[in-house]
Amino acid sequence: MVTNSATSVVTIERFIIEQERLHPHATGDLSSVLYDLALAAKMIASKVRMAGIADVLGETDHENVQGEVQQKLDVISNEILVKALDHGGRLCCMASEEEPDLIPIPDNFNTGPYALLFDPLDGSSNIDVNVPVGTIFSIVRKVSPGSRGEMMDLLQPGLAQVAAGYVIYGSSTMMVYTTGQGAHGFTLDPSIGEFLLSHPNIRTPAHGKFLSVNHSYEAIWNEPVKALMRQYRGLEGKREPMNIRYVGSLVADFHRNLLAGGVFCYPANTRTPRGKLRLLYEANPLAFIVEQAGGRAITGSQRIMEVVPNDLHQRTPLYIGSRDDVDLAERVLAKQAAGAAA
Ligand code: P6P
């Protein structure tokens, strides 16, 4: 007897095909990139799951372009993504948090109409202590002449994204992505090696209960930021205090807030005056996801996806999550800034 269960088994591949059918002129190139990203996610998941057993824990003796010591899994994840995506003939170039410059498509491979930017393993400093980590990706259309990709293909504002998403390697492995038709979550069933649709059309609560911020920087925030955090914590104004939840792994904090409601803040401070998080392959893709889910993402004064980039690894302050909570940030930071300017 077939139960009339409300859920049906939909693999990510089937979902991608069904989404493609919404676009009569689709060529299948974007679908192919998304398939390859799902494959890379499964390969990275298997490495992350084995981290405690196989010799992939710990640090290499290399530093990445950010000056951060590269964890072994960072390097492995970066290589998995490049090798999974470089030969499909759908990309003109790539960019990674782990590589200083544009990653060209090898001359012996065809190129295609998209560029891919990614953080292969965000939060990797948490790997050795088994805290969830994640992969974040952003896909834009090639805009440069000729067949090979150029930096101008990568330096596009977030509004130019045609797709974006992340994978969280947590208590389960989930891939969440959008192509502009809502944000959808897929959970990996390791027994069959398939991502199955588990969170169709994610909607983030308008007002969240969680505040994710590293309060150890309070002494080096400016006054507007301090005032905002007092309001979030119910120390000023009429709001209920928010519960503080800060994992120190962007994808983990973002994902919890996306599903349960909340705001993640990484303000500028005197140590990181431009913020810490990267615009192109962290803030922009998560901003696309959260806006598709009904939330918002700002620098403090500007919509994240409107920022025009001028450097591949540029950083940005980030306030992202539930609409009402980001609205408050925008109001308090603007009012305080206006007061300071007066
Ligand atoms: P802090 C991890 O290094 C990361 O890039 C994000 O995943 C995380 O949200 C943030 O930095 C944590 O930074 O300064 O609070 O340790």
Q: Is the pLDDT of residue 325 over 80?
A: yes
Q: Is the CB of 215 under 6 A from ligand 1?
A: no
Across 318-336, average pLDDT: 93
Q: If you measure from the C-alpha of residue 276 to the centroid of ligand 1, how many angstroms do you get, rounded to a whole number? A: 8
Residue whose CA lies nearest to ligand 1 atom number 14: 214
Residues 6 or more apart whose Cβ sits within 8 Å of residue 94: 81, 82, 85, 86, 102, 103, 105, 115, 116, 117, 118, 149
Q: Is the CB of 317 under 6 A from ligand 1?
A: no
Dihedral of CA 189/194/200/202: which sign? Answer: positive
Q: Is the pLDDT of residue 7 over 80?
A: no
> CA-CA distance, 148 to 142, in Å (whole number)?
9
Q: Is the pLDDT of residue 4 over 80?
A: no
Domain with CATH 3.30.540.10 in the chain: 6-199
Best of 249, 256, 313, 315 to mutate for ligand 1, by most ligand atoms within 8 A of CB?
249
Residues 6 or more apart whose Cβ sits within 8 Å of residue 166: 134, 135, 136, 137, 175, 176, 177, 251, 254, 255, 285, 286, 289
Q: Is the pLDDT of residue 69 over 80?
A: no
Across 68-95, average pLDDT: 92
> CA-CA distance, 302 to 158, in Å (whole number)?
12
Residue whose CA lies nearest to ligand 1 atom number 16: 248
Find out whether 196 and 9 touch, Cβ atoms under 8 Å.
Answer: yes
> CA-CA distance, 228 to 75, in Å (whole number)?
38
CATH architecture of 210-341: 3-Layer(aba) Sandwich (3.40)
Q: Encoding tokens for residue 34?
A: 């998304």
Domain with CATH 3.40.190.80 in the chain: 210-341
pLDDT for the residue numbered 140: 98
Q: How many residues does the chain have?
A: 342
Find out whether 248 and 311 touch, Cβ atoms under 8 Å.
Answer: no
Q: What is the residue-averaged pLDDT of the chain?
A: 93
Q: What is the DSSP string of 274-303?
A: T-SEEIIIIIHHHHHHHHHTT-EEESSSSB
Please give the helix or strand (H or E) that residue 92 lies within, else none: strand 91-96
Residue pointed to by tokens 């590589």? 99
Q: If you measure from the C-alpha of residue 20 to the centroid of ligand 1, how many angstroms do you get, rounded to a whole number? A: 35
Q: Is the CB of 283 under 6 A from ligand 1?
A: no
pLDDT band at residue 126 under the 50/70/90 scheme: confident
Find out whether 155 and 143 touch, Cβ atoms under 8 Å.
Answer: no
- Specify the pTM: 0.94
Q: Is the pLDDT of residue 334 over 90?
A: no
Q: Does domain 6-199 sit in CATH 3.30.60.50?
A: no
Burial code of 306-317, b = ≥16 C-beta within 10 A, e = fewer?
Answer: ebebeebbebbb
Q: Is the pLDDT of residue 110 over 80?
A: yes
